[in-house]
A = this chain, B = another copy of it.
Amino acid sequence: MTPSVPNRETTDYLESRIRAVGLRPTRQRLALAGLLFQAGHRHVTAEKLHGEAMKRGIRVSLATIYNTLHQFTAAGLLREVVVDTDRSYFDTNMERHHHFFHEDTGLLEDIPSSELELKNLPPLPEGSEISSIDVVIRLSGTRKLPL
């Protein structure tokens, strides 16, 4: 049946996810959701996502990339990870987890939550509550083989 319609199911899935958070499934948002959510967990910057979209012939302005990343974040589809003062990173993995950050390449990588635990959390300052706990293990490259 309708053998020439590609990825119907997938598109429906993206559309419903977008609708579910109260946003209109526009061409741009569907395309970006495709890039973000169809290939496992990802870490993107605005510029990189824009580049990818261009490469695939999706016409989206950079302003829309920023709008969409922020709307998705506000909607709980993405989370922002602060690791670099120059660039914002967005993570599609919403489970509780932490990150490796390769300082030389700018690559950001998930650490599965199970592997790392925090012990002995200190008492919080009066009148505040935890919004999130972010652990970043910064890595520097090392030559592969000893000199």
A133/B134 in contact, CB under 8 A: no
Cα distance, A144 to B125, chains bound together (Å)? 11
Q: How many identical subunits does the complex contain?
A: 2
State how many angstroms separate the Cβ of A80 from the closest Cβ of chain B.
Answer: 8
Binary per-residue interface labels of chain A (109-134) against chain B in the complex, 1 for a CB within 8 Å, 0 otherwise: 10110011111111011111111111
Taking CB atoms and an 8 Å cut-off, the chain A residues in 76-130 that contact chain B are 82-85, 87-88, 100, 102-103, 109, 111-112, 115-122, 124-130
The answer to whether B131 touches A138, judged by C-beta atoms less than 8 angstroms apart, is yes
A142 to B124, CA, bound (A): 12
A139 contacts B129, C-beta separation under 8 Å: yes
A143 to B126 CA separation, bound complex (whole angstroms):
10
Contact A131 B103 (CB under 8 A): yes
Q: Which residues of B contact A131 (CB under 8 A)?
A: 103, 138-140
Measured between beta carbons, the chain B residues less than 8 angstroms from A130 are: 137-140
Given contacts A117-B118, A125-B139, A130-B137, 8 further A-B contacts (CB under 8 A): A82-B82, A85-B87, A115-B121, A116-B121, A127-B141, A132-B137, A134-B135, A136-B136
